[in-house]
Each structure stands twice: as structure tokens, then as C-alpha cells.
Amino acid sequence: MVRDDDPIADLIGRVAAADRAAFRALYHAASAKLFGTCLRILKDRGEAEDAVQEVFTRVWLNARRYDAAKARGMTWLIAIARNHAIDRLRARPATSAADDTAADFPDRSPGPEAQVLARSEARRIADCFDTLDPARAGAIRGAYLGGLSYEDLSRRHDVPLNTMRSWLRRGLMKLKECLEA
Amino acid sequence: MSEPGDHMPDREALAAEYVLGTLPHAERLRAEALIAEDAGFRTLVEDWQNRLAALNDGYAEVPPPPELLGRIEGRLFPEPERPRSRGWLWGALAGFAAVVLVTLFVSSILPPSGPPTITATLTGEGQPLMIAATYDPAMSELTVERTAGPAAEAGKDYELWIIPAGQAAISLGVVGEGEAVVPLADLPAGSTLAITLEAAGGSPTGVAQGPLLVAAVIGDG
């Protein structure tokens, strides 16, 4: 894939060479998005701050593993942030049922990134989401953005956990088939 | 009834669910172990990250608190604990320490009654310059002399510094041709003697400005 305009990827490449100025520039370019990501999943500012600190530590230590041919820079950063935030969330001691507090952290309407993101790619994924039945597309989207577990989802939709799991798996598979068609 | 997802291979499903984020903790840890050791599985995960990346636009940008960058940098790049007022020479020495040879000799050429003379050789890695230093506590005099390497280039001088342990560098003047004798009340163990290249006549500010060339740390007698 051609990455002719990915300043974040360039910065990660410089961070891989232990360039502290590039690290700082990367922080200024990406920290709001990554904080928003961690906050949406963890729903706790203090914990989201700790998560972002850990995420940037990993970025500094692992920047050499980033391959610009495999993912856009921001995609790679958000994957690190989501993985860490979700791991934190799952490691929390079991508490009362997760509230649906998504309203506190509203979705953002498509912004500049969607425009910068290679348009054909984004368009195709959006089109494929549209081929899923709306409930399944909504569940995938909610799970992805909010870090919901199968347990959360089965409670929310009031279906057995394994039913929810195979239902979502089928949605993911359809999505993949559509993208590869 | 059969839908396509029924036939999704387990590895593929695990990769997709890992990226989606719905797995319980134990299964996430299993997936992360696979990512670390199995390149094929890692590729499946990367493919799913790219497939679902379009959803990332749903994450709002929320500025983190201003002090967070400082916390992160403080953790990644801890500064040695020393006041900045000690000047850059300490910073230079921190990087230099690994190549500074501790070259202390306590000679017994003086009569046994007096305190021992301290001699040291100031050297630097890849640096032809060598400066011999001798401190005579009885006379409170430090004598230094260039014993190897070129004289300072035109318009420059070698400047001698003493850096008592944990303190700011103090200029002891420039080192020209022949022996230079400077009064010095004490040369305690842990002090560093250093030579920098400065403008002719020495640094006008009293703080080292040129490159650190050679140094020696005074050891315990």
C-alpha cells in the first residue's frame, strides 16, 4: 500500500531512531486521539491518563516494530491504545454490570481523519458495514469503540453469551467477505 | 441453518475477536501470546486492525491534561539528579565518565612527614591530548603540563577546570606551553580535573563553553 501522506508514520519512524523531538511532536499530534480512545473504553480520566502514559512508553520502546507498509501510523497507535485500555478493563476486578455510559462519551462525526484516510479504503469498509443488518453492525461498532465484552453485550441484548458470540462472529465474517469481494 | 460465520476458522475468529475487543481477559492473554510468537497469527490480527480501522473515526479527540507529557518524558528520560546551575560541563562529563581513566597515583617521593603528592593524567577517548597534573598539598599548588598532543589551535586555549564532587566547575585558568602552576587549597577525592577548548584567554563567562577534551577523576588515596 502506498503511504504517500502519513506524517504520523514519518514521526514514528524518527522515534524508532530515538529522536526525542519527534517523540514530542508525535505526542502533540496523537495524544488527544489516544486519550479520547482510552477514555471512551475506560470511562475514567485518571485511568485513561495512566493508560496514555503506558501507551506512549510502548510507542517509544516499540517504534522499531512499526511497519508503514502494513498500517497507517494512526491505525497502529490506536491499536496499541485500544489493546492496552481493553486489557486494563478486562483485568479489573468483576464489578456490577457495566453501565451503558456511552452517552457520556459521544461518538464523533466523521472528521478530518476520514478525509485523509485513503478514501477508497474507508469508503469500502463503510459500504461493507452497510451490508450488515443494522443491529449486528451496531453491536460490532459499539463493542469496538466502547471495549464491550461478550458478557456486556449478552446482558445488554438479553441473549445468552454464546449466542451473542456466534452472532457477532458471523457479522465479522460477512464483513471480511464483503471486503475481499 | 448455515451462515458464513459458522465456518470461520478458529484462529481467524480469535484474531477478529481480539481486535474487536470482546474476549474475556484469559483469552486476550492467550491471543497476545500468539501474537508474540506466531507470525501468521500476527498477520491475521494486523489485517483485522486495518479492516476495522475505519471505526476509529468514532473516537473523539480529548486533550489530556497538560502535565501528562512531562510525566511521560520524566519516566522515559530520567535526568541525573543535579541542579542545572552546575552548568553543561557536568552533562558533558556524564557522557564522558565511561572513558575517563582514573589515573591517580599517590607518590612517596616527598619526605614521609608531609601529606602525599597526588598525580593524575587527564585523558580522553580518541584524544591525542594528555595533561599531567601534580598536586602538592604542602604547597597548595597544582602543577599541570601538556605531555602529549598538539597545542591549542590559533585563537584558542586549553582551559583547566576543577569540579568538586557534586558541585559546579571552577576555572583554574588556561594551560599554555610549559608548566602551569595554580594555587589550589584542596583536591579531595571525587573531584574531577578537566580540560576544555575555549576561546583564547579562556571562557569569558567563567562557565565552560567549548568541548570537553580530557579529564581525570581523583580517586581515594
| Nearest C-alpha in B relative to A88 | B25
pLDDT at A103: 37
Closest CA to B135 of B103, B113, B96: B103
- Residues shown for chain A: 181
Closest CA to A169 of B48, B42, B11, B8: B8
Give per-residue pLDDT as tens, B79-93. Answer: 654 444 455 666 666
pLDDT at A63: 93
Say if residue A39's pLDDT is above 90.
yes
Average pLDDT estimate for A23-45 = 96
Closest CA to A174 of B69, B57, B141, B13: B13
One domain, residues B99 and B24: no
- The residues with which B106 forms a beta bridge, in sequence order, are B118
Residue B79 domain flag: no
In B, what residues contact A, Cβ < 8 A?
3-8, 13, 16-17, 19-25, 28, 32, 46, 49-65, 68-69, 71-73, 75-77
One domain, residues B170 and B209: yes
Cell of A77: 497507535
One domain, residues B199 and B108: yes
pLDDT at B144: 92
Average pLDDT estimate for A141-154 = 93
Residue B16 domain flag: yes
One domain, residues B30 and B93: no
* ipTM score: 0.87
Give per-residue pLDDT as tens, B127-176. Answer: 889 999 998 888 888 999 998 888 998 888 999 998 887 777 888 888 88
* CATH code assigned at A78: 1.10.1740.10
A33, burial (CB in 10 Å: exposed 0-12, middle 13-18, buried 19+):
buried
Residue A109 domain flag: no
**Given 3-state DSSP classes, what are the helix, strand and coil percentages for chain B, each rounded to the nearest 5?**
35, 30, 40
Q: Is the Cα dihedral B149, B153, B157, B159 positive or negative? A: negative
Å from A38 to nearest chain B CA? 9
* Model confidence pTM above 0.90: no
Helix locations, chain A, DSSP H? 7-16, 20-42, 45-62, 73-91, 112-116, 119-131, 134-146, 150-157, 161-180
Å from B79 to nearest chain A CA? 14
Å from A90 to nearest chain B CA? 5
Strands of B69-208, DSSP E: 104-107, 117-124, 127-136, 141-148, 156-163, 170-175, 180-183, 192-199
Which of B16, B57, B64 is nearest residue A114 as measured by Cβ atoms? B57
Chain B residues lying within 8 Å of A179, measured CB to CB: 51
pLDDT at A106: 43
Give per-residue pLDDT as tens, B26-54. Answer: 999 999 999 999 999 999 999 999 999 98
One domain, residues B156 and B194: yes
Instruction: For residues B41 and B11, give the distance between their C-alpha atoms in angstroms, rounded to a whole number.
Output: 7
- Please judge whether B6 and A166 are an interchain contact, meaning their C-beta atoms are less than 8 angstroms apart: yes
A136, burial (CB in 10 Å: exposed 0-12, middle 13-18, buried 19+):
middle
Residue A73, phi then psi, degrees to nearest 5: -60, -45
Closest CA to B164 of B139, B181, B133, B187: B187
Strands of B125-169, DSSP E: 127-136, 141-148, 156-163
Chain B residues lying within 8 Å of A148, measured CB to CB: 21-22
* CATH code assigned at A136: 1.10.10.10
Residue A100 domain flag: no
DSSP-assigned states of every residue in A100-143:
--GGGSPPPPP-HHHHHS-HHHHHHHHHHHHHS-HHHHHHHHHH
Closest CA to A168 of B10, B22, B11, B32: B22
| Nearest C-alpha in B relative to A105 | B60
What pLDDT band is residue A99 in, cutting at 50, 70 and 90? very low
Residues B86-98 as b or e (16 or more Cβ within 10 Å = b):
bbebbebbeebee
Percent of chain B having pLDDT more than 90? Answer: 34
Residue B78 domain flag: no
> A93, A108, A126 — which closes off a domain?
A93
Chain B residues lying within 8 Å of A76, measured CB to CB: 49
Percent of chain B having pLDDT more than 70? Answer: 79
Which of A90, A126, A140 is nearest residue B20 as measured by Cβ atoms? A140
- Structural contact between residues A161 and A150, judged by C-beta atoms closer than 8 angstroms: yes
Q: Which residues contact A53 (CB under 8 A, 6 or more apart)?
A: B68, B71, B72, B75
- Please judge whether A33 and B59 are an interchain contact, meaning their C-beta atoms are less than 8 angstroms apart: yes
Residues of the domain holding B38: 4-62
How many C-beta neighbours within 10 Å does residue B112 have?
6
Give per-residue pLDDT as tens, A110-146. Answer: 444 544 445 566 678 888 988 998 988 989 999 999 9
Q: What are the C-alpha distances in Å from A7 to residues A13, A26, A59, B32, B98? A: 10, 9, 16, 28, 38
Residue A110 domain flag: no
Residues of the domain holding A179: 118-181
Number of domains present in the structure of chain A: 2
What pLDDT band is residue A66 in, cutting at 50, 70 and 90? very high
Å from A50 to nearest chain B CA? 9
- Please judge whether B63 and A35 are an interchain contact, meaning their C-beta atoms are less than 8 angstroms apart: yes
Which of B4, B22, B62 is nearest residue A177 as measured by Cβ atoms? B4
- Which one has a higher pLDDT value, B186 or A32? A32
Which of A71, A110, A173 is nearest residue B4 as measured by Cβ atoms? A173
Chain A residues lying within 8 Å of B62, measured CB to CB: 32, 35-36, 39
- Please judge whether A170 and B5 are an interchain contact, meaning their C-beta atoms are less than 8 angstroms apart: yes
- Please judge whether A24 and B73 are an interchain contact, meaning their C-beta atoms are less than 8 angstroms apart: yes
Say if residue B106's pLDDT is above 80.
no
Average pLDDT estimate for B10-36 = 94
